[in-house]
């Protein structure tokens, strides 16, 4: 919205969501997940502290509209059944992008995007 950035929709054909992470503060692991993503292009991209992209998954890889994985600190392994992606740095950014392929579906596309998120991993 206009409250969160000077340019409300920097790319008018994409909706964005992001999570800045600090794996030290997250006890070594961050859970990244999506579900019920819309039937349009979407992606989850991971960037390290130097803004280098080190991992991407999109709708072509996750055909069911869902991903669920951990981002872990270098040298860390977490006892979890979830796939683990090692971040080159302890801090970084997760960027979710969703293509607006039809403005009449904007509310539906945005609802799907809101199912994406990040949180410190807590087994259980």
Distance, in Å, from the CA atom of 107 to the CA atom of 52, rounded to the nearest integer, reads 31
Specify the pLDDT at position 108.
87
pLDDT of residue 2: 54
Distance between CA 60 and CA 121 in Å, rounded? 26
What is the distance between the alpha carbons of residues 86 and 71, in angstroms, rounded to a whole number?
6
123 Ramachandran zone, left/alpha/beta (phi>0; psi -120 to 50): beta
Q: pLDDT (tens digit, 0 to 9) for every residue of the chain, 124 residues total?
A: 556 655 555 566 888 889 999 999 999 999 999 998 888 899 999 999 999 999 999 999 987 889 999 999 988 889 999 999 999 999 999 999 999 988 888 898 888 888 899 999 987 6
Per-residue pLDDT at 10: 58
CA triplet 39, 21, 108: central angle to 5 degrees? 20
Query: How many of the other CB atoms lie within 10 Å of CB of 21?
Result: 25
**Full-model pTM:** 0.86
Q: What is the C-alpha to C-alpha distance for residues 33 and 116, in angstroms, rounded to an integer?
A: 6
Comparing CA positions, the residue from 51, 61, 47, 25 lying closest to residue 94 is: 47
């Amino acid at each position: 919205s206009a409250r969160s950035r000077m340019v409300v929709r920097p790319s008018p054909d994409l909706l964005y969501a992001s999570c800045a992470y600090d794996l030290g503060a997250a006890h070594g692991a961050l859970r990244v997940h999506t579900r019920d993503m819309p039937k349009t292009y979407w992606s989850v991209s991971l960037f390290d502290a130097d803004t280098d992209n080190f991992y991407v998954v999109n709708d072509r890889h996750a055909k069911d509209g869902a991903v669920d994985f951990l981002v872990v600190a270098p040298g860390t392994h977490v006892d979890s059944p979830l796939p683990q992606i090692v971040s080159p740095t302890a801090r970084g950014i997760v960027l979710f992008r969703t293509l607006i392929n039809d403005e009449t579906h904007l509310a539906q596309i945005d609802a799907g995007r809101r199912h994406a998120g990040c949180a410190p991993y807590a087994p259980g």
